[in-house]
Each structure stands twice: as structure tokens, then as C-alpha cells.
A and B are shown apart, each in its own frame.
Chain A
């Protein structure tokens, strides 16, 4: 039996990798993508373009300006001299924010009245706007702290000392790069497997395969193995890039990580084969792959937290293998979560894999046309 499966597997490998374009398309893009996306996919803002409108040219207001100039998050692009310049500048995206220091600023400060700095921000991308405002607040808070201690004024009765655990510098790359491993593995394995049965159905060779002495289970395993092996290989390369290129700390054990990867690939390959066994043409297979991959990526917690989704959609995400893998890979990388604490993520992957494998095997025989 093992020999028969082996020969089937070789045949599948040949079908995928026989022509040069297919080889290129399976192996090259994931490597390029992890490099490009690893740099691109970050929520950390750098060089936020801002304009200063300072109507109070005192030393104190210059000191406040210096706080922005010295921050790596901000980049001064314009100084403006009138209210009328604000709207056109923001409208055409000339600056994300305008910092407006009024003429009363230093007088209010010396009189110990609250001095107000107006900040106008482009809210077209509300997440960027929120983050930029947070950075503004940080600069202002730092200014306030120095001002209070320099002037000997009484400070506020309570102050916040904030610390972030597991990721002290709040680098979103640490969170996103492990996620990219899950994203690329999903795309590669689904595409490799989703067309495997459909291609043979379209060309009519699947009927021939079914009348050979191969049992459906053997056909199933033979079709699953290439996607699985390609997935393991690509996972290894991508993880090496994450650790040695992007320097994401791998705090947990590689064995736990690979246990998660094996189960994840088992489930995605199974879903791919299920889609393929349902499809009569390659076009249907590909459409099915798209209709699975796109929602699976967006509803996985990869970029937007599942906790922010409405209840009903949160329930739907339990069917999504990528959801579990996100918890596994981020836990193992950043928190060093042991395997025992991840069992709740492991078993759903196994169940999704087994269910879809069984369904695919069953469909092999039922759906001939």
C-alpha cells in the first residue's frame, strides 16, 4: 500500500511541477512575499507628515515644536501662516495633521491657565488617524512632564506609567510576520490541492484513476501528500526568514511550532481537496479556492482582532483553520506558549482536517461528472 501511495504521490508532484511556470509560481512568490509583506505590513507609523501653524512665537511654543521635530514618528512638511491654508492642505493629503498653537499659548501657560493646542487630523483612514493622535498625546505628555518639573508647578494628582508586556516596544512587525507564515501556507496549499482533482476531472483522467486498483483512501493520501510536503518546506524557509531576517523572537519550542504546522497543513490540504472533489472544472476549483481563501484570511485575526467582530461572525470564525493557527504561531513565537496550553487550538484543526478529508473521499466516488 505504501508503495502504491508513493507512486501516486510522485505522479502528483510531476503534475504540479512538470512545467517551469508552475514550478516558479509555487516556490518563488512566497519567499518574495514574506520579505515584502514583512516590511509593508506594520501598523507602526513613521514620518507622519504634519504642518505647524504657530501663532505664538515664544520660546515655550518652540520647545513644544521641538518635541515633534525630535520624534521619529513625525516629519514636518510645511509651516503655515493662516487658518485658510489648513483645509486645502489636509484635503489634498499634503499633511496628515496640522498642529495649531494659538496666539494665547504662552500667556495662558504663564498665567497657569490651561493652554490648548489644536490638532486637526485627516480621518479618511481612521486607524492611522487614531495612532497619529496617540503619538501626538505622547509628545504633549512628555512636554508637560518637563514643564511641570522645570517650573515647579504642581502636577496632576495621578499619572500613568504604561508598560507593554510580551512586546515592550510595541513593534507590530512581531505580531504580523508570524501571521504571514499562516497566510502564505494557506494560499500555497489550497491552490496546489484545489485544482488537483478538478484538473483530472476536466481532462477525464480521474475516471481512469478510479477504475485502477487504487482505493479512494490511497488516492486521497497520494493527492494530499505533495501539498503537505511543499507546505512543510515553505513553512521552514519562511520561519527561518522570520527569525534570522526579521529577528522576531522565537520564545517557544520549535517542536510545538511544528506540531501546529503539521496540523494546520493537514486541515488546509483537506479543505483544498474537498473543494477540488466538489468541482467538475478547474475554474470551479479555483473559484472555490478564492471563495475560501479570501474570507479565511480576513476573518482569521491576522490583521483585525476577532474580538472586534460581531458575535455571529465570531462564531463563523470557529470553522476557519487559520484562526487557530494564528493563536498557535503567535503564542509560540512571542509568549513561548507550551504545547499543553495549545491543545484547545490543536484539536479543532485535527477535526477540520479529518472531516474534510472524509468528505473529499466520499465525493470522489459520488461525483463523477
Chain B
């Protein structure tokens, strides 16, 4: 506590400069509507569009039911499809029409009961039902296949019950889906979208706006004043951080209020982890702009280094543990990956520390890395 007078004045001077810088940045933000549009209009628009638009739940799948010899047995099987909310079945008289409809993509699957369906149902090895799915979209095909199996199992159970006998399937599966018992894809897509939108906001705000300053030379002008690089960076970060958190708040409010995604975890943890992620995203944008120094390159780099990886390599839709090992290594460099794990857990499962702590630590590390390198690169150029 020696209270070095000189040190104290320097500190106050720094504080004043910083305050001035932040004020300048705020004015710049307020005068340039594009950064406000990025922070608020973009999440609003994108979340509305995608929250409603992106869904992996197939409902009313058009399926052709072909019974070569319609009778009571086939119509009970057809009835089971009619009752399922997953299918909108069309009964077709023959395979020719059905195959034509599959080729022209009017239907996604064919369920074919042959002439001897009734007879073989009463034989020892049962009647084979031919199921043909359009395999082009493999994911959708698998889901449709699963739905057909579901209808089949329900029908078997009904038949057994009606005949007053035990179901003839030796082992049955009792499925329990935790955290999302109705398997609503919106519940995992909306938190994932928030991470993608925040990635875009963070990178766009800094990459674009900083690159413009380099291009116009106002950055160099700023650097010949007594402010330090650290002050410049902090001065830039504070307003964009506040803008970004504003966008985040809006997104979370929409997720819960509009899309009905449950938020099981605590707001405090959400706030802290979002801050870490935003710092990493802003730091990455900053680094891009420092390296690129021109808006064309910065823009290209921002879309290539942020949106596409966040969309494909983050586990948003594609399961990371199913990727080949070298690609899994690459995903560790994608900040959105950690944030999506945190968000999906916070929204659907709650404050599960073994998931949150390591991912938050990774975000902290990435933020420190990007900001550190950005600072170093800026200083180098000044010499």
C-alpha cells in the first residue's frame, strides 16, 4: 500500500482513456444502424424462420398401402396405419401404381401385402410384409422405417389382445427417452440455433467493423494517440459484448416464450457461459479482422470460419462421435461445439456440472487464445 502517486495518475489516465474509447465506440454503434441490426434483427429473423422451419420430425408421411387381395386381415393392418399420426396412407390397388408414385416422389414408402397374406398369417413362420422406402434421404428413410416398425408392433399387440393370447415376440423393448420424452426435434434444434446465431453475431460485429477501420486507416490514426492496444481492444469489446448479450437475451426469451423449450438450468449459469462464448466469438472476429485488414477477406473468412463449421462441425445436427477421428479432432477448434453441449444440457437437463465445467473451461481457453493472439498481431503491425 505504498500509494505510488505516479502510478496512480497513470492508472486514472488509463481509466479515463478507456472510458472515452468505450464512449466513442458506443456512439459509433448508435450512429451505424447495421451493428444494431446484426445484434437484434438477425436473431429475431433467423430464430423465427428456423425455429419454425427446421424440423426433423416427419409427420403425415405419404405411404402407399398395397393389398393384393383385400380382406379383413389386410384392412386391419391398413387401419393401424390410418391411426398413426406419422402417416397419411393411400391405398393403391397394385404395385405398378405404387412404384410409379415412389419414383415420382409422391410417396416415401410402400407397404406391400401379397396375395397369400391371410393364409400365411396363420402359418408357422408368419406372413412377410414387403416394405420399400425411398433411401435417397437416408436419415428420413430410417425414421420412416422406424415409424413403420412402430405401427407393425402396435398392430401385433392389438391382434394378440383380440385373440386373447400372448404376444408372440420373445423380447420386447421398453424405451425411455430422458430429457425430451416426446422426442421433439425443436427442443434440441432451437438451443443449437442460438449458438449458431451468436457465432454469426460475434464474428460479424467485430470482423466487419474492425476490418473497415483498418481499411480506412482510422485504426492507425487511433494507434498514434497515447492509447494502448489493450485499451483499444477492450474499448471495442465492451459495446459489442453488451450488444451481443442483448441479442442472446432476446434469443433465450424467444426459445422459452415462443417455442416452449424448457429451461431447466439456472439463468446465472446460462449468463456466465454465454459471456464466455461471446468473448470467444468476438475474439475470433477480432483476430480475423486483424489478419485480413480488408473487408472482402474478412467477410469471406468470417462466413467460412464461423457459419459453416458452426453448422456442420458443432454437433448441432450431426453427431460428433460418429465422425472419423481426424474430423473429431478438428471439431475441437469450433467454439460452437462447446456452447451447443452447454446449451442443450442447460435447456433440457439442468445444471449438470460434469458437462458444463469442462466445456466452459474450453470456451475460456479459446477466448483467451483468440484475444491474446489478436492483441499480439495488432502490436506487431504498429512497429
Residues of A within 8 A of B (CB): 16, 19, 21-22, 25-26, 29, 33, 36-37, 39-49, 64, 90-93, 109, 112-131, 133-134, 136-137, 140-141, 143-144, 147-148, 151, 153-168, 170-172, 174-175, 183, 187, 191, 195, 199, 282-284, 286-287, 289-291, 293-295, 297-299, 303-305, 307-310, 312-313, 316, 330, 334-335
Contact B319 A45 (CB under 8 A): yes
Residues of A within 8 A of B175 (CB): 119, 121, 133, 136
Q: Are B126 and A156 in contact (CB under 8 A)?
A: yes
Count residues of B near A (Cβ-Cβ below 8 Å): 111
**Bound complex: CA of A140 vs CA of B125, how far in Å?**
18
Binding site for A on B (CB under 8 A): 34, 37-38, 42, 45-46, 49-50, 52-59, 77, 102, 117, 121-122, 124-143, 145-146, 148-149, 152, 155-156, 159, 166-181, 183-185, 187-188, 200, 204, 208-209, 212, 292, 294-297, 299-304, 307-308, 311-313, 315, 317-319, 321-324, 326-327, 330-331, 341, 344-345, 348-349, 352, 354-355
B46 nearest in chain A by CB position: A294
Q: Are B55 and A22 in contact (CB under 8 A)?
A: no
Contact, CB under 8 Å: A123 / B129? no
- How close is A39's CB to chain B, nearest CB, in angstroms? 5
Interface pair B58/A308, CB less than 8 Å apart: yes
Chain B contacts of A153 at CB under 8 A? 168, 170
Closest 4 CB pairs of A and B: A164-B135, A167-B135, A123-B180, A92-B354
| A144 and B169 form a contact (CB under 8 A) | yes
> How many angstroms between the C-alpha atoms of A120 and B178 in the bound complex?
7
- Please, which residue of chain B has its CB at the minimum distance from the CB of A49? B321
Do A117 and B132 contact each other (CB < 8 Å), given the known contacts A91-B352, A123-B181?
Answer: no
Please determine whether A282 and B183 come into contact, CB atoms closer than 8 angstroms. Answer: no
Looking at the complex, which one of A19, A90, A93, A159 makes contact with B128 (CB distance below 8 Å)? A159
Q: How far is the CA of A162 from the CA of B148 in the complex (A)?
A: 10
B299 in contact with A282 (CB, 8 Å) = yes
B172 touches A157 (CB 8 A): no
Supplied contacts A172-B137, A298-B53, 4 more A-B pairs, CB within 8 Å: A40-B327, A155-B126, A158-B129, A316-B49
Q: How far is the CA of A295 from the CA of B318 in the complex (A)?
A: 19
In the complex, chain A residues whose CB is within 8 Å of the CB of B152: 158, 160
Instruction: Give the contacting residue for B166; candidates A41, A113, A147, A171; CB below 8 A.
Output: A113
Question: Does the CB pair B312–A287 fall under 8 Å?
Answer: no
Task: Tell me whether A304 and B171 are in contact (CB under 8 A).
Answer: no
Report which of A25, A124, A162, A308 forms a contact with B304, defined as CB distance below 8 A: A25
CB-based contact B318/A93 at 8 Å: no
Q: Decide if B168 touches A304 in the complex (CB within 8 Å).
A: no
Q: Is the beta-carbon distance between B176 and A121 smaller than 8 angstroms?
A: yes
Given that A125-B319, A160-B149 are known contacts, is A309 also in contact with B299, CB under 8 Å in the complex? no
**B208 and A155 within 8 A (CB):** no
Question: In the bound complex, do residue A126 and residue B126 qualify as a contact, i.e. CB atoms below 8 Å apart?
Answer: no
Do the beta carbons of B146 and A290 come within 8 Å of each other?
Answer: no
- Cα–Cα distance between A42 and B137 once the two chains are bound (Å): 11
| CB-based contact B128/A161 at 8 Å | yes
Contacts of B295 in A (CB 8 A): 195, 199, 282-283, 286
CA distance A232 to B148 in the complex (A): 42
Indicate if the CB atoms of A162 and B145 lie closer than 8 Å.
Answer: yes
User: A residues within 8 A CB of B173?
Assistant: 116-117, 119, 133, 136-137, 140
The answer to whether B142 and A134 touch across the interface, beta carbons within 8 angstroms, is: yes
Q: Closest CB of chain A to B340's CB: distance in Å?
A: 9
Cβ of A144 and Cβ of B170 under 8 Å apart? Answer: yes
Give the residues in chain A near B302, CB-CB below 8 Å: 286
B204 touches A290 (CB 8 A): yes
Q: Are A91 and B354 in contact (CB under 8 A)?
A: yes
Q: A124 contacts B344, CB within 8 Å?
A: yes
B135/A166 in contact, CB under 8 A: yes
**Residue in contact with B183 in the complex, picked from A129, A160, A299, CB distance below 8 Å:** A129
The answer to whether A287 and B37 have CB atoms under 8 Å apart is: yes
Instruction: Please list 7 pairs of residues, one from A and one from B, whose beta carbons are closer than 8 Å in the complex, sorted by A's number.
Output: A126-B185, A131-B139, A133-B175, A156-B156, A166-B134, A167-B135, A167-B136
The answer to whether A115 and B318 touch across the interface, beta carbons within 8 angstroms, is no
Q: Which residues of A contact B200 (CB under 8 A)?
A: 290, 294
Nearest CB of chain A from residue B118's CB, rounded to whole Å: 10
Chain A contacts for B166, CB-based, 8 A: 112-114
Identify the interface centre among B142, B297, B311: most chain A CB within 10 Å of its CB: B142
Given the contacts A113-B166, A137-B149, A40 and B312 also touching, CB distance less than 8 Å? yes
- Are B299 and A289 within 8 A (Cβ)? yes
